Structure 1
Amino acid sequence: MQTEIKPPIKTEYTKPYIPIKTKFIVSHLTAFLWMCLSIYLGLPWLKDLSHILPLPVALLIIGGISYIPGYMNAFLVMSLLLDRQPPLKNQYPEDQISVLIAAFNEEDKIYQTLRYLDHQDYHGKMKIYVINNGSLDRTAEETLRAKRELSIDIELLHEEKPGKFHALNHGLTMVQTPYVITIDADTLLQPTSIRYLVARIKSSPEDVCAIAGSVLTKNSRENLWTRVQEWDYFLGIASIKRLQGLYQGTLVAQGAYSLYKTNCIKAVGGWPNAIGEDIVLTWRLLQKHWKVYYEPLAVAFTEVPSTLKHFIRQRARWARGMIEGLNEVKPWNQPQIYIKYLTGINLIMPYLDFIFTVCWIPGLILAFFGHYWIVGPITLFVLPLTFLSYSILYFYQKNYVFKPLNLSIRKNLVGFIFFIIGYQMIMSPVSVFGYVQELFKFKRNWK
């Protein structure tokens, strides 16, 4: 996906309004009916597998492979079909904002990140804080060069204690504006991005404390692996963000690009000492009866891991962050029913990832040899929903995000094929690895 600096096209949403409660009930009813149908059609599969394994074990395996994923996909599809992003009340806000950029050894990226900030069409006053977190390269020098050469207000801070949360909290002590935005040091903002992010929170109810931006890949042409991840960000992550945003509980206002109300961040003590500091922070905010929205037009492009090794580190870190969040804020302690449900889904993710890793992958191998005990024809019942959800997201991203922003979707058929066929076979084992790391409290790594 390439950015082009052109005037944004205004998009109107004309669908009739449907209350969130109605969307929630209708989506669950649809998902329940779909699961009942899949259970009925899968009875022969269950019977065959129960001849090999005890019935409870067979139910656990098929439930993790087909029943629950099918239910979740049906809920997602129906929710996306009913979703409607409320219009912005004012697309050109001018509130003062602060931007925090935690940087560790980012000499080759920080100047470009700041240059893209300088190209924003936001007319409000911006104060940029770059927090140099013990870098051993020329990150500080590149920041000072940007301060000299660019027109934005940049201040370089230093935080020697390692850890992104230390850097962000140090920057937070300097913030005097009502809103604060966090950006990763390798993230580039589309020219209208900050304007849309601020416009969304200004158009939201008072109990909305944060807005998650839309993060896409900037280095998708580097190799096959980054091409695959391009679709994960463009379709997979974006669909989950839209679902969660619809129910007023985006579960991760990601540190890579999000906006927060400063007083809300300070009220929960800033960023926590956690490997998934943005996850735990978001759940703390939700626990305070606040809401977190998602703005798909606030687009940022970030650098994704270009090697499998770095990908494993990143996604294992994300999996650990989810477990940290569950340990600190239990789903049943969340005050809002939608948040209870959304965070409750995360309780079953380790089970689903484990079943996929130890049952579905071996079952797929057995299926190639004609043994359909675990993976059989009924398993393919999940695929239509998957393709439908991705088709809905593709249509939405193309017409309601990329078209208004004058962005073009680059062709990436090879990456899409690998994304559909093999991505989950890597994701689930990596997530299981992350769960194990957190269980045994392995050493944390920022990158």
Structure 2
Amino acid sequence: MIEKLFWISVVVVGYTFAGYTILLAIIVLIKRIFSSTKLPMPNPAELPEVCLFVTAYNEADCVVAKVENSLQLNYPKEKLKLLWITDGSDDDTNSRLEKYPEVRVEYLPERRGKVHAMNRGMQFVDSPFVVFTDSNTLLSPDSVQKLIRHFQDERIGCVAGEKRVFKGSAENMAAAGENLYWNMESILKQFESELSSVVGVVGELFAIRRDLFVPVANNCLLDDFQISMGLAVDGHRVVYESEAVAWENGSQNVREELKRKSRIAAGGLQAMIKMPALLNPFRVGWVSFQYFSHKILRWTVAPWCILIAFLSNFLLVFFATGNSLELIYIVVFALQLGWYLFAFVGFKAEGAIAGNKLFYIPYYFTAINYATIKGLFRFLKGKQPVTWEKARRA
């Protein structure tokens, strides 16, 4: 029984964090042999009007940088509308935005959360395409053009941009770990997009057709995921554009990153309950397989399997002597011990070790899986308000 638990856990963890990507790569490489398409950039004169949509709460520190970045985007000025929804903000966010007549600001004094602000703000959008972006992210110059060109294909309802993290100081393990995480996610998202659809987008940068927007419930925790995957359920493709980049500072430290990851995990569980159709292959095809492999396993089973793999391995080493696989169990247990030792050193020395991957990778990986388990209990207790405290960024 213990051996079965060990091997099942190892297989689940291995498939979730490595095997799925490898399998997807093989399928996509085979697909590339039989089909290859290059998407042309549209003629600038034929570019459609776009609304660059930002929801912000007390973002005075980054307002100027964000607006200046938006005004410098390589998109016809007369066709790029800037809309900020600043509900509840009581700092200098609105006063700083007043200096930019190009920006339309809609404000209510009551703070009711990002989703409420987004749903309310969409009534002010009359452009055929909407690009959602965060106030604390900077966009690459051609990002809007790169996103919008995909809508030449009528089957596409949503386009995901790529998130990148500024590493910042070498001592910031959270930023270094987050940067590595998103580099790996980018590869995975590219494969998913080529196969069928990306499983979820990042709120820092994504675009949709205005007429396909459906308001999400005000208690939604992962609005970007539910908006994009709702389109997939309705039969629209969600594709990935690696050349449309949103840059963001990493979390101030891993403890701050835990806040964000546990919130995402809670939101993932909420989405699972609200969107059961994503697991129906007869309705969404390949997306069902991708959703299960990329999200369901990460949000539910894999973190627990990491714990089970360690505990069962311990029992096999110390209480199952004479087993024909005893040497394998000893080696695997030694590797696990080493991994958690490095993670512990990373935890104790955070901010003192100059970006050494031997420490920040085990620490970050262990921390985000702990955060996933924490997010489960957070969701079950219902202790996730829609007006959550944001993780502090470096």
TM-score, length-scaled by structure 1: 0.71
Asked if 1:355 corresponds to 2:305, the answer is yes
Q: Which of residues 284, 288, 297 in structure 1 aligns to 2:243? A: 297
The within-5 A match list for 1:48-447 is 53=2, 55-66=3-14, 69=17, 71-79=19-27, 81=29, 86-93=37-44, 94-123=47-76, 125-145=79-99, 147-148=100-101, 153-159=102-108, 160-202=110-152, 205-218=153-166, 220-221=168-169, 223-233=172-182, 235-265=183-213, 268-270=214-216, 273-330=219-276, 331-333=278-280, 335-345=283-293, 346-349=295-298, 350-360=300-310, 376-377=331-332, 414=355, 416-418=357-359, 420-444=361-385, 445=388, 447=390
Cα 1:224–1:361 change in 2 (3 A) is farther
The structure-2 alpha-carbon separation of the partners of 1:141 and 1:68, relative to structure 1 and needing over 3 Å to count, comes to: closer
Q: Distance in 2 between matches of 1:316 and 1:137?
A: 27
Tell me: CA distance 1:322–1:121, structure 2 relative to 1, closer, same or farther (3 Å): same
Is contact 2:161–2:206 with CA below 8 Å preserved after alignment?
Answer: yes
Q: Which amino acid aligns with 2:83?
A: Y
> How far apart are the structure 2 equivalents of 1:184 and 1:65?
32
Q: 1:117-141 CA deviation, whole Å, 9 max, x = no partner?
A: 1111112611111111211211111
Distance 1:67 1:128, change over 3 A: closer
CA distance in 2, matches of 1:270, 1:58: 40
Matched residues, percent identical?
18
Query: C-alpha distance in 2, partners of 1:250/1:320?
Result: 20
Q: CA deviation at 1:221?
A: 3.0
Contact residue 130 and residue 207 of structure 2 kept, 8 A:
yes
Do the aligned residues in 2 keep the contact of 1:210 with 1:292 (CA within 8 Å)?
yes
Q: 1:167 to 1:67 in 2, by over 3 A?
A: closer
* Corresponding letter in the other structure for 1:230: N
Deviates further, 249-258 or 83-92? 83-92
**Cα distance between partner residues in 2 of 1:71 and 1:311:** 26
Superposed displacement of residue 295, structure 1? 0.2
2:349 corresponding residue in structure 1 = none
**Structure 2 CA distance for partners of 1:347 and 1:310, relative to 1, 3 Å:** same
Partner of 2:340: none
Question: What is the CA–CA distance in structure 1 between the aligned matches of 2:314 and 2:93, rounded to whole Å?
Answer: 47
User: Take 2:16 and 2:355, find their aligned partners in 1: how far apart are those partners?
Assistant: 29
> Secondary structure at the residue paired with 1:236?
helix
Q: Which amino acid aligns with 2:65?
A: Q
CA drift of 1:320 comes to 1.5
Q: Quick one: which amino acid aligns to residue 131 of structure 1?
A: I
Alpha-carbon distance change, 256 to 442 in structure 1, aligned in 2, over 3 angstroms: same
Q: Are 1:332 and 1:340, in contact at CA under 8 Å, matched by a contact in 2?
A: yes
Instruction: Give the C-alpha shift of residue 170 in structure 1.
Output: 1.6
**How many residues end up aligned between the 2 structures?**
352
Deviations 1:215-253 (A, max 9, x none): 1013533723212222222x2221222122122221212
SS in 2 for 1:141: helix
For the residue of structure 1 that corresponds to 2:61, the secondary structure is coil
- Aligned partners of 2:19, 2:367: CA distance in 1, in Å? 22
Unaligned 5+ residue runs, structure 2? 336-353
Q: How far has the Cα of 1:65 moved from its partner?
A: 3.8
Q: 1:264 to 1:312 in 2, by over 3 A?
A: same
SS of the counterpart of 1:305?
coil
Q: Distance in 2 between matches of 1:327 and 1:259?
A: 25
TM-superposed CA distance for 1:355, in Å, is 1.3
1:77: Cα distance to partner? Answer: 3.9
